[in-house]
C-alpha cells in the first residue's frame, strides 16, 4: 500500500478521510490504527510528506500507537481549525464519497471553503482488493480463530438446544481465542431454516435429522474471516447426503479455479453449471463468493454478473450452496488467498459430512 502514489495517480493534492456519522473503514486502512480506538469524528489526511491524524483527546493513546503524525483537539471548533491548517493551500482534494454522508460533506465544504473535491472511492476500493503482507497476516489469524471454532462445533450440539444458544457459543469461543468481535451476525440454522442463506439464529430447537448450518467469522484487528460448515444432527438421509456431496464437489471446482488472472465471473459460471447438471438445478441462489478484508464483503469477488480479474494477494470466499424450502440447505465456505501459481485455502476444518 502506497497512499502517496494514489495522490499522483489521481492528480490530487490531498486525500481526506472522515470517520464521521458513517464509519469509514478506509480510515483504518490508511492509518493502520488497528488495535484499539473507535476514532469517531476523526480525520486521516494523506499528504505527500505523510499521513496526519486529527482525533480527540479520548483517542489520543490509541492514535499514538501508529506511525502517523497525531494532532489532538479538545473541541469541535479546534478540530475544524486543525483541518483547515493541515489542508493549507491544497486545491484538489480526494474524498471517499462511498462512506461520506451529505451532512458531513457539507460540513467539510463549510470548513475548507472553495476547493475541488473529487470522488476517488472506486480507486481506493481497487487498492484494497490486493492485500499486503500485514493485511494477509491479520486475515490469517482471523481465519485461524474461526477454523479452530469450526472444528469444535460438533461438540457443542445437544438435542433441544436453540439456534441462538449455538450462535452464542460460537461467538464466545471466537472471543476466547482472541477475536475482537464476530465479523458479522452469526448464522446458526437448524433443519428447514438452513434453506435461508441469510437466516439469523432464532428459537428453533435442534432435533435428530436436522441440518445444522453455521456461517460465522472472526474479526481480528479490524480484518475478517468468513466460513460456513454444515452438519447433520443424527444419521443423514440419502437426500441430505446427496445435497452435501453436490455442494462439496461444487466447492472443489470453485477453489481449484482460483488463480491470478482468472475472471471471477468464470468461477461462478462453472460452479453453477455443475450444480445445474444435478437434480438441484436452480437451487444455488447466490454468487459463489466475495472479497474479504476490512469489510466482510470487501468487493464482488466471484459473481457471474461482474467481470473481476483475480489478482495475487486478493482474498475471496468460495461458498456454493444448495437450498430447498421447507427442507433445508447446505453451504460450505472457505477463505482463499489468490496466488500467482494458484491459491491457498486459509480456513481449515474438516469438510467431509459430519453426522453428530
The residues spanned by each domain of the chain are 3-128, 133-345
Instruction: Report the SS3 class of residue 85.
Output: helix
Check: CB of residue 201 under 8 Å from CB of residue 190: no
**H or E segment at 243?**
helix 238-257
Please state, in angstroms and as integers, the Cα–Cα distance from residue 221 to each residue in 32, 216, 278, 295, 336, following that order.
Answer: 10, 17, 42, 12, 19
CATH 3.40.350.10 is held by the domain 3-128: yes
Residues 277-314 pLDDT 10s: 999 999 999 999 999 999 999 999 999 999 999 999 99
Give DSSP secondary structure letters for 108-176.
HHHHH-S-EEEE-HHHHHHHHHS--HHHHHHHHHHHHHHHHHHHHHHHH--TT-BHHHHHHHHHHHHHH
The domain defined by 133-345 folds into Creatine Amidinohydrolase (3.90.230)
Q: Which helix (H) or strand (E) holds 323?
A: strand 321-324
Cell numbers 447466490 correspond to 286
Q: What is the pLDDT of residues 18-67, one digit of tens each?
A: 999 889 999 999 999 999 999 999 999 999 999 999 999 999 999 999 99
How high is the pLDDT of residue 4?
Answer: 86
Instruction: Using a pLDDT cut of 90, give the percent of the chain over it.
Output: 98
Q: Average pLDDT for residues 340-350, to the nearest whole number? A: 96
Scan for cell 437450498, then name that residue. 323
Pair 10, 123: CB distance under 8 Å: yes
Answer yes or no: are the C-beta atoms of 106 and 117 closer than 8 Å.
no
Amino acid at each position: 500500500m502506497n497512499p502517496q502514489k494514489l495522490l499522483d495517480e489521481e492528480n490530487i493534492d490531498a486525500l481526506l478521510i472522515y470517520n464521521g456519522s458513517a464509519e469509514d473503514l478506509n480510515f483504518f486502512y490508511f492509518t493502520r490504527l488497528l488495535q484499539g480506538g473507535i476514532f469517531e469524528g476523526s480525520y486521516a489526511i494523506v499528504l505527500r510528506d505523510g499521513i496526519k491524524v486529527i482525533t480527540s483527546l479520548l483517542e489520543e493513546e490509541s492514535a499514538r500507537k501508529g506511525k502517523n503524525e497525531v494532532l489532538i483537539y479538545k473541541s469541535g471548533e479546534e478540530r475544524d481549525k486543525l483541518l483547515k491548517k493541515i489542508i493549507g493551500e491544497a486545491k484538489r482534494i480526494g474524498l471517499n464519497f462511498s462512506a461520506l454522508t451529505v451532512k458531513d460533506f457539507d460540513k467539510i465544504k463549510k470548513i475548507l471553503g472553495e476547493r475541488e473535491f473529487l470522488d476517488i472511492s472506486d480507486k481506493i476500493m481497487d487498492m484494497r482488493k490486493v492485500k499486503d503482507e500485514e493485511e494477509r497476516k491479520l486475515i490469517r489469524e482471523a481465519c485461524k480463530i474461526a477454523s479452530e471454532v469450526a472444528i469444535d462445533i460438533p461438540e457443542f450440539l445437544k438435542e433441544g438446544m436453540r439456534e441462538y444458544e449455538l450462535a452464542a457459543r460460537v461467538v464466545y469461543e471466537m472471543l476466547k481465542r482472541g477475536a475482537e468481535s464476530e465479523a458479522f451476525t452469526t448464522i446458526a440454522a437448524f433443519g428447514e431454516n438452513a434453506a435461508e442463506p441469510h437466516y439469523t439464529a432464532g428459537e428453533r430447537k435442534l432435533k435428530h435429522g436436522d441440518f445444522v448450518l453455521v456461517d460465522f467469522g472472526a474479526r481480528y484487528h479490524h480484518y475478517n474471516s468468513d466460513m460456513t460448515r454444515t452438519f447433520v444432527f443424527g444419521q443423514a438421509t440419502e437426500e441430505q447426503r446427496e445435497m452435501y456431496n453436490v455442494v462439496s464437489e461444487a466447492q472443489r471446482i470453485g477453489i481449484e479455479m482460483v488463480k491470478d488472472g482468472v475472471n471471477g465471473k468464470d468461477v461462478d459460471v462453472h460452479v453453477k453449471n455443475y450444480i445445474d447438471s444435478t437434480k438441484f438445478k436452480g437451487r444455488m441462489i447466490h454468487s459463489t463468493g466475495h472479497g474479504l478484508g476490512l469489510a466482510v464483503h470487501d468487493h464482488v469477488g466471484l459473481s457471474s454478473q461482474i467481470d473481476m480479474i483475480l489478482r495475487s494477494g486478493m482474498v475471496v470466499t468460495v461458498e456454493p450452496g444448495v437450498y430447498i424450502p421447507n427442507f433445508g440447505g447446505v453451504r460450505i465456505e472457505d477463505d482463499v488467498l489468490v496466488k500467482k501459481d494458484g491459491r491457498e485455502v486459509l480456513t481449515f476444518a474438516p469438510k467431509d459430512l459430519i453426522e453428530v
